[in-house]
Structure 1
Amino acid sequence: MNKPEIASIEQDELQAPTVSFWQAFWFWLKLGLISFGGPAGQISIMHEELVERRRWISEKRFLHALNYCMLLPGPEAQQLATYIGWLMHKTRGGIAAGALFVLPSLVILIALSWVYIAFGEMPLVAGLFYGIKPAVTAIVVQAAHRIGSRALKNNVLWAIAGASFVAIFALNVPFPIIVAVAALVGYIGGRIAPDRFKTGGGHGKADKSYGAALIDDHTPTPEHAIFRWPRLVKIVVIGALLWVVPMGLLTTYFGWDHTLTQMAWFFTKAALLTFGGAYAVLPYVYQGAVGHYNWLTPTQMIDGLALGETTPGPLIMVVAFVGFVGGYVKAVFGPESMFLAGAVAATLVTWFTFLPSFIFILAGGPLIETTHNDLKFTAPLTVITAAVVGVILNLALFFGYHVWWPTGFASGIISSVDWISVLISMAAAIALFKYKRNVIHVIAASAVVGLIVKTLIL
């Protein structure tokens, strides 16, 4: 091969790709079907596919978008997909990317939730969940450790995490109040002692290049991504209508106190409080769905998290399970339409949970793309993340109590312990912490152990 031919090949390799809307559409659908591993795994998949292999976006622009998504409430991986889809193919691209990230998970969870609620008492299903629940306790502890190791960089942040734990565990302070106080502390602390409230390193520096990209470091901002006030107002108005119209119909047809109306209102609030990821909002979902509304039991909440861990899509999709079980158990459409009630409730909950994420990206994206500056004012987020560590630790204790002492302390603390569940939790923790095993592998192994125990021993 002569030098001109080699030069031609090298030039072709460096050329930015061209991607049609439908090419991107099928990729986003594929991503929605394979996006296991929580936000870290999902972001890793997108980086490998979009930055390294397909070169749809440069490293710098990818991280710029990710840093914005990290500041927002909601699932950052889904928001990142929405952002990149919007940047490439305007509003329809953003909606397609974000929706396809969620829809496969919704369909799968509706099916699995029905199997769970309809056949959960069968020995096979009961045995599988007997092993899964102790593993989930270890997984939540790992989440607290993972977030804490990144967020708690000094004694002040450790103290905030401790205060958060005491507030929710001992004082039963509602999660929204914890978030609001943490944000206020971060806002004030960031001005009084900024060095104490710096973020823990973010996502690294954009110092790598994988060749020319469709959206490269110096690619001019697309026309549709330039900030304009009329467009911002348009997006906000449309977004508000997409919330007001279904909420108004639910209130008018069913009434404010109806299960479906209350689900829509509750999960709208939850969507605005998911700073720090799904594990951060789960305590709030528990406080409302289990403690206040009685849509499901503590045991069902643990089982729902296990299903969320083993299906593709954002972990916050556990809300679809909560909606399905609540709608099914409450029989909101009557005893003859219980599956329909569950499916409608799950879909409704998903709509109100993810609608704010689309509005944040479509409304705020042009401002971020136009400025191209580093994001400031991250101290409130730093403190919220620190507070979230304490909240997640409380969640782990909540799960552990219901799994290790399934009958409570009726016959004493020691004699009431389910020692097999404790051993499964310890084995799962060792696999996660020491051997760095994948969450899905740990859940699968624990499910097999649970089935064996239930079949041969109990």
Structure 2
Amino acid sequence: MICYMLRLGTFGFGGPVALVGYMRRDLVEQRNWILPADYKEGLALAQLAPGPLAAQLAIYMGYVHYRILGATLAGVAFVIPSFLMVAALGWAYVRFGGLPWMQAVFYGVGAAVIGIIVISAQKLTLKSVGKDKLLWAIYLLLALVTVATESEVAWLFIGAGVAVWLLRAPPKWLGNLPAAALAQLPLASGWFGALDVSLLAQIGIFFIKAGAFVFGSGLAIVPFLYGGVVTEHHWLSDKQFIDAVAVAMITPGPVVITVGFIGYLIAGLPGATIAALGTFIPCYLFTVIPAPYFKKYGKLPGVTAFVNGITAAAIGAISGSVIVIAKRSISDLPTAMIALLSILLLRKFKKLPEPLLVVMAALAGLALYPLLH
């Protein structure tokens, strides 16, 4: 499992949509290391809790058989390769005054990533939603909301789970959901703002908030990061932030690892380390603490219905995010052709390695971008 997570963190391109698809394909379908029910529980828990989706699912996959030790090692193995890559790119960015070639690479890679996540989202939908009409209704609602708002609305995930629970396995008595307490979590993030602390402490506090109070995937955390590092603290310029997001997209592993690049630009390697730890430690805790209860009570009819509802909502939001990301990555006919060709190649050649596709797209971007811009 640890070797697999190291490899996924090193070669897993495509962001959270693709990464959760890879884990299902590799761990559930091909290797049979994880039961489908355990995968579904992990995906639901990862979507329900705040923090980066793919990293939380990787942590839960490690927890399934090896508990705390497995969760810890799986999480570190999944994150460390991409962290080292973005830290190295941060050093190059600072040392050489920017990465002008990155626009050309991202021009091709961004389009190819759309093809990768389209295929991954399709597989997740067919496997987890199937022909269930209620789950399809939830799936389509969340997809539409994600496209319309370009964000992931956390309370809708919980609402979807509650709706399926009440319709499919209604309890004999209804307790009050702790919605009021959950609603106060984002407000709690404001407590830290008034503290006068050193730069590294400010970085740590901000990125702990990013990991603890933002639901969903890299799609959800990027606007939060922009508001903090550009608008509020003025640590980065608009161009530097866009370059940071581009770095996250052209490197493997979780998209949220862009926090390492951002932290490096702010305060060098210490800043990168503090930013990464601040983001990932909350998501680790939000996974391993409730995990035993998911394992113990996950087979109860009410819990199963609740998990099915959240899973359908999560996959709907993931599928909707494909359209949101595509609007930013497909800007002209060549990028549209790269995305379409990527989809066709992945459908035709089931075992085509995604890293090879990304490399080909990067070369295409380097060739085409100077001619078109």
TM-score (norm 2): 0.67
> Of 151, 154, 162, which aligns to 1:179?
154
Report what 1:165 is aligned to. 147
Report what 2:202 is aligned to. 261
1:323 alignment partner, SS class: helix
What letter corresponds to residue 335 of structure 2 in structure 1? S
> Of 79, 88, 97, which aligns to 1:111?
88
CA distance, structure 2, for counterparts of residue 157 and residue 60 of structure 1 = 19
CA distance, structure 2, for counterparts of residue 306 and residue 39 of structure 1 = 20
Report what 2:360 is aligned to. 445
Deviation for aligned residue 1:102: 1.4
The 5 Å alignment of 1:8-407 reads 32-35=9-12, 38-47=19-28, 51-52=31-32, 57=33, 59=35, 63=39, 66-67=42-43, 69-73=45-49, 74-75=51-52, 77-83=54-60, 85-86=62-63, 88-119=65-96, 121=98, 125-133=99-107, 135-137=109-111, 139-140=113-114, 143=117, 147=121, 150=125, 154=136, 157-168=139-150, 175=151, 178-180=153-155, 182-183=156-157, 185-186=159-160, 189-190=163-164, 251=195, 253-254=197-198, 261=202, 264-275=205-216, 277-290=217-230, 292-297=232-237, 299-325=239-265, 327=266, 341-371=267-297, 373=299, 375-378=304-307, 379-380=309-310, 382-383=312-313, 385-387=315-317, 389-390=319-320, 393-398=323-328, 404=331
CA distance, structure 1, for counterparts of residue 140 and residue 4 of structure 2 = 41
Deviation for aligned residue 1:430: 1.6
Q: Deviations over 1:136-183 (max 9, x none)?
A: 156358647854882796466535543443345xxxxxx57x323x24
Q: Is the 8 A contact 1:431 1:442 kept in 2?
A: no
How many residue pairs were aligned?
330
What letter corresponds to residue 365 of structure 1 in structure 2? A
Q: Is the 8 A contact 2:113 2:339 kept in 1?
A: yes
Q: Is the 8 A contact 1:85 1:97 kept in 2?
A: yes
CA distance, structure 1, for counterparts of residue 10 and residue 69 of structure 2 = 20
2:214 alignment partner, SS class: coil
Deviation for aligned residue 1:111: 0.4
Deviation for aligned residue 1:432: 2.2
What letter corresponds to residue 291 of structure 2 in structure 1? G
> Of 339, 345, 348, which aligns to 1:429?
339
Instruction: Specify which structure has the bigger relative contact order, considering alpha-carbon pairs within 8 angstroms and separated by 6 or more residues.
Output: 2
Report what 1:226 is aligned to. none
What letter corresponds to residue 358 of structure 1 in structure 2? Y
What letter corresponds to residue 318 of structure 1 in structure 2? T
CA distance, structure 2, for counterparts of residue 389 and residue 87 of structure 1 = 26
CA distance, structure 1, for counterparts of residue 144 and residue 40 of structure 2 = 32
Q: 1:448 to 1:299 in 2, by over 3 A?
A: farther
CA distance, structure 1, for counterparts of residue 241 and residue 353 of structure 2 = 22
Deviation for aligned residue 1:372: 5.3
Q: 1:58 to 1:100 in 2, by over 3 A?
A: closer
CA distance, structure 1, for counterparts of residue 120 and residue 218 of structure 2 = 14
CA distance, structure 2, for counterparts of residue 261 and residue 179 of structure 1 = 26
Q: Is the 8 A contact 1:158 1:386 kept in 2?
A: yes
CA distance, structure 2, for counterparts of residue 25 and residue 438 of structure 1 = 20
Deviation for aligned residue 1:364: 1.9
Q: 1:426 to 1:295 in 2, by over 3 A?
A: farther
Q: Deviations over 1:302-346 (max 9, x none)?
A: 543443344343332122223323x1xxxxxxxxxxxxx132222
Q: Deviations over 1:175-203 (max 9, x none)?
A: 57x323x24653564467669xxxxxxxx
Q: 1:89 to 1:434 in 2, by over 3 A?
A: closer
Q: 1:91 to 1:453 in 2, by over 3 A?
A: closer
Computing the radius of gyration over CA atoms, which structure comes out larger, 1 or 2? Answer: 1
Q: Is the 8 A contact 1:272 1:356 kept in 2?
A: no
Q: 1:427 to 1:296 in 2, by over 3 A?
A: farther
CA distance, structure 1, for counterparts of residue 48 and residue 259 of structure 2 = 19
1:373 alignment partner, SS class: coil
Deviation for aligned residue 1:97: 2.6
Q: 1:449 to 1:164 in 2, by over 3 A?
A: closer
More helix by share: 2
Q: Percent of counterpart pairs with the same letter?
A: 21
CA distance, structure 2, for counterparts of residue 84 and residue 387 of structure 1 = 21
Q: 1:311 to 1:366 in 2, by over 3 A?
A: same
Gaps of 5+ in 1: 1-23, 169-174, 196-243, 328-340, 405-421
CA distance, structure 2, for counterparts of residue 25 and residue 188 of structure 1 = 35
Q: Is the 8 A contact 2:245 2:258 kept in 1?
A: yes
Deviation for aligned residue 1:110: 0.1
Q: CA RMSD in A?
A: 4.3
Deviation for aligned residue 1:280: 4.3
CA distance, structure 2, for counterparts of residue 48 and residue 389 of structure 1 = 21
